[in-house]
Structure 1
C-alpha cells in the first residue's frame, strides 16, 4: 500500500533539520502519539544523520483481528537517515518503520525530502506499507494505514508547536 504525504513548516530547511535531529523533539513526538514508553537517538553518520525512535504503543484502537495477533501492546521502531544539506538546506532521506520488532510482518520503507517552499519548508514522505501475511496482508495494511497517517500528522503538529507556529 502506497503512503504519500506532504506538509509544510514555517521555517527554513536548516531550522527544520535541526528540529528533527533534536532528541527532545523526537521524545515529544513519541509522547504525542501516546506511547507507553519510548527511546530516541540521533547519530551522525559521516555527512548524514540517523534518527531512531522506538515506542511501545497500546493496541486498544486496533481492529480485533489485528489485536488478536499482536496482543495488548506493540513496539514501533522508526529509522530515518537524512543526507547532508545542500546549500539551500535541502535534504533527502530514507525512512524505515518496523512494527512489532520483527514479530509482526508489517513494515514501511520509503524516501523523504526536505525542500524550501510554502511558508518556509516542505517535507514529502513516500513509502510502501507492506504486511507479509498470506491471505489477510491487505486487510492488515488497510488497518495499519490510519495509524501511519496519524503518526505523520502528529509529527507535523508537534513540529508546528516546536517552531511556535501552531
Structure 2
C-alpha cells in the first residue's frame, strides 16, 4: 500500500533539514506521536555525506486486527531510520526511510525528499507500507495506514510550529 504526501513548508531546505536532524525536534515528534512518554529514544549520527536519524517509540496496538496484535501484544515498538544524503546541486535533500514494527511483519520503506521552492521547501514523502502476512496482509496494511498518516500529519504540524519560532 502506497503512502504519499506532498506539501509546502515555510522554510528553506536547510532549515527544514536542520529540524529533521535536530535531537530536540525528534524528541518533540516522539512525544507527540507516542502514548508512553517514558519509552522513546532518539539518536542522530553524523556521517560524511549526511546525518542518520534513528527513533524508537511505543504505541498502543488498539485498532489493529486481533491477528496483528497477536504479533506485537498491547504495544507496538516503532523503529524509524532516516538516512540523509548530502545536498544535491539544486540544494535538495533526500533521505531513505526505513520504519518497522519490532516483532511484527510490518514495514514502511521509501524516500523523504526536501525540494527548494523559492524561499520555501516542498516535502515529498513516498512510502510503501507492507504487511508480510499471507491472506490478511492487506487488512493489516489498511489498519496501520490510518495511524501512520496521523503521525505524518502531527510531524508536519510540528515542523510548521518550529519553523515559525
Establish whether TM, by shorter chain, passes 0.5: yes
- 1: distance between equivalents of 2:40 and 2:26? 10
TM-score (norm 2): 0.91
Give ranges in structure 1 of 5+ residues lacking alignment. Answer: none
- 1: distance between equivalents of 2:117 and 2:65? 38
Q: Is the 8 A contact 2:63 2:143 kept in 1?
A: no
RMSD: 1.7
Give the corresponding residue for 2:50. Answer: 48
Alignment of 1:25-104 (within 5 A): 25-36=25-36, 37-86=39-88, 88-99=90-101, 101=102, 103-104=103-104
Which segments of structure 1 move beyond 6 Å, counting only runs of 4 or more?
A: none
Give ranges in structure 2 of 5+ residues lacking alignment. Answer: none
Give the corresponding residue for 2:139. Answer: 139
- 2: distance between equivalents of 1:64 and 1:135? 14
Number of residues of Structure 1 aligned to a counterpart in Structure 2: 163
Residue aligned with 1:48, SS: coil
> How far did 1:93 drift?
1.5
TM-score (norm 1): 0.91
Alignment of 1:8-19 (within 5 A): 8-19=8-19
